[in-house]
Amino acid sequence: MGSGARVGDTRSAELYRRAVKVLPGGVNSPVRAMRAIGRDPIFVDHAHGAELVDVDGNVYVDWVCSWGPLIHGHAHPALLEALRAAAERGTTFGAPTPAEVELAEEVAARMPAVEMLRMTSSGTEASMSAIRLARAVTGREKTVKFAGAYHGHVDGLLAEAGSGLATQGIPASPGVPAAAAAATVVVPWNDPEAVSRAAAEHDVAAILAEPYAANMGLVPPRGEFLDHLRAVADEHGALLVFDEVITGFRVARGGAQELCDVLPDLTVMGKVLGGGLPAAALGGPHALMERLAPAGDVYQAGTLSGNPLAVAAGLTALRMLDDVAYARLAATTNELADGLRSAAGAHPVQVVGAPGLLTLFFSAEPVHDYAGAAACDLQAYGAWCRGLLARGVYAPPSQFEAWFPSLAHTSEHVARTVEAAQAAFRELDR
Ligand SMILES: *Cc1c(COP(=O)(O)O)cnc(C)c1O
């Protein structure tokens, strides 16, 4: 940290002392607290492009990018202009607007399995509603989910969830009714037999998967695993639901379903979809989506759903995502992955990448599931991550979260990161 101030004297520390009195844990979402890496949170003042500036004036290369939404980096001029223009026309009406239709058309044109969508304000709402719809359509109640996957803080989907629960070591949250927990069958990721068994033994409404699991760190599907999910769902009359909140509009123009050529019945979207504002959606074919009210009988609603500011940001963000952008994002991710591998040298780590996503696991073995991710040297990750922060690199403060390269990251940002990573690895040796 450039300021040279003692930790307790920083403005971040002062704000944290005030925050813990009025916000549980001092934050509005658990992973922000940085407890997993043994330090207090950093309060942000502002950010531009790929760089974030904290309230003490420290500058960081930001690889968290708000945990996924900021594929164009912070405060992109085109997004700010779209927001300004939308805000001047009014911030919410509770009535339909032209831009919602345009955004829905844009998404339907991109995502192979999406003909129509229902917008929400968060990924949590979208996955909750997707499960309700799957239950209504199938007349069944159970959901198969994968250990280490995260689908928002929906009661029934918190069992062995990744993201903040993995980070905090919370296997299941108190306050979830037993019936909600019992409606979820948790199986290991990348274990085809376990999926077959679960579908045979239970009345399954939905098999719910992050097609590239990215909330236990990034753990791509192995071999034909996604095809297997499709086949099992078909065999047992369950719906296949892809949670593409992270992968959608990131790993490819049409998400993981396009990249892997496996079509789900329902798709959950969020993060990039809102261009940095609160927007998410569930989507699918007409036959399923028209079960939603008011076209059908499955209730789903939201005061701020399809909010004009969020829709303007999302539409602008998506329209800037052309083939050139995706090629550049993939190249940046590869450059970062190669750099981190060389920085690690002989340290036992695994650098895993997909276009626009990356994780560095502190593990001597390749990681294929949540057990593998949980077996990583979390202490070493924490120390290394603190070392990065001290050198101006803001990496996810948890082994269970992915890095989010953006279109604002340049080779210079990668070089700064690799240099800091090398120094942080050397520090681990001492
Ligand atoms: C972030 C996330 C969610 C939840 O979205 P929120 O907008 O935080 O409610 C759901 N699924 C996945 C895969 C996510 O990464």
- Please tell me whether residues 210 and 235 are part of one structural domain: yes
274 lines ligand 1 (CB under 6 A): no
Q: What is the number of the ligand 1 atom nearest to the C-alpha of 271?
A: 7
Residue at 406 is within a domain: yes
- Domain residues for the domain of 157 are 77-319
- Does any ligand 1 atom lie closer than 6 A to the CB of residue 122? yes
Closest CA to 304 of 96, 88, 120: 120
Point out the residues of the chain with pLDDT beneath 50.
1-5
> Are 259 and 382 in a shared domain?
no
**What pLDDT, on a 0 to 100 scale, did the predictor assign at position 281?**
99
Nearest CA residue ID for atom 15, ligand 1: 246
Cα–Cα separations (whole angstroms), residue 129 to 124, 134, 423: 9, 9, 46
Question: Do 374 and 280 share a structural domain?
Answer: no
Q: How far, in Å, is the centroid of ligand 1 from the Cα of 423? A: 33
* Distance between Cα 138 and ligand 1 center (Å): 24
Q: Under 8 Å CB-to-CB from 174, ≥6 apart: which residues?
A: none
Question: Do 289 and 371 sit in the same domain of this protein?
Answer: no
Specify whether 179 is located in the same domain as 31: no
Contacts for 77 with CB less than 8 Å, ≥ 6 apart: none
pLDDT in tens, 28-59: 999 999 999 999 999 999 999 999 999 999 99
Atom of ligand 1 nearest to the CA of 123: 5
List of residues 6+ apart from 384 with CB closer than 8 A? 362, 421, 424, 425, 428
The reply to whether 150 belongs to the active site is yes
Per-residue tokens: 158: 């918190």
Q: Which of 243, 265, 369, 377 is catalytic?
A: 243
Tally of structural domains, the chain: 2
Could you identify the residue written with the tokens 């690889």? 63
Fill in the amino acid letter for 375. Answer: A
Please indicate, yes or no, if residue 205 is contained in any of the structural domains. Answer: yes
DSSP state of 212: S
Per-residue pLDDT of 204-249, as tens digits, reads 999 999 999 999 999 999 999 999 999 999 999 999 999 999 999 9
Q: Report how far ligand 1's centroid is from the alpha carbon of 150 (Å).
A: 7
How many residues in total does the chain contain? Answer: 430
- Whether the upstream peptide bond of residue 264 has omega within 30° of 0, thus cis, is no
Give catalytic status of residue 243 as yes or no: yes
Q: Please pick, among 60, 150, 212, 381, the residue that the annotation labels catalytic.
A: 150
Q: Indicate whether 2 belongs to any domain.
A: no
pLDDT at 101: 98
Q: Are residues 21 and 133 in the same domain?
A: no
Q: For residue 70, tell me if it sits in a domain.
A: no
The whole-angstrom separation of Cα 91 and Cα 86 is 7
Would 72 be classed as within a structural domain? no
Asked whether 151 lines ligand 1 (CB < 6 A), one says yes
- Whole-number Å distance, alpha carbon 36 to ligand 1 midpoint, is 20
Report CA(299)–ligand 1 centroid distance (Å): 21
Active-site residue (options: 40, 271, 326, 370): 271
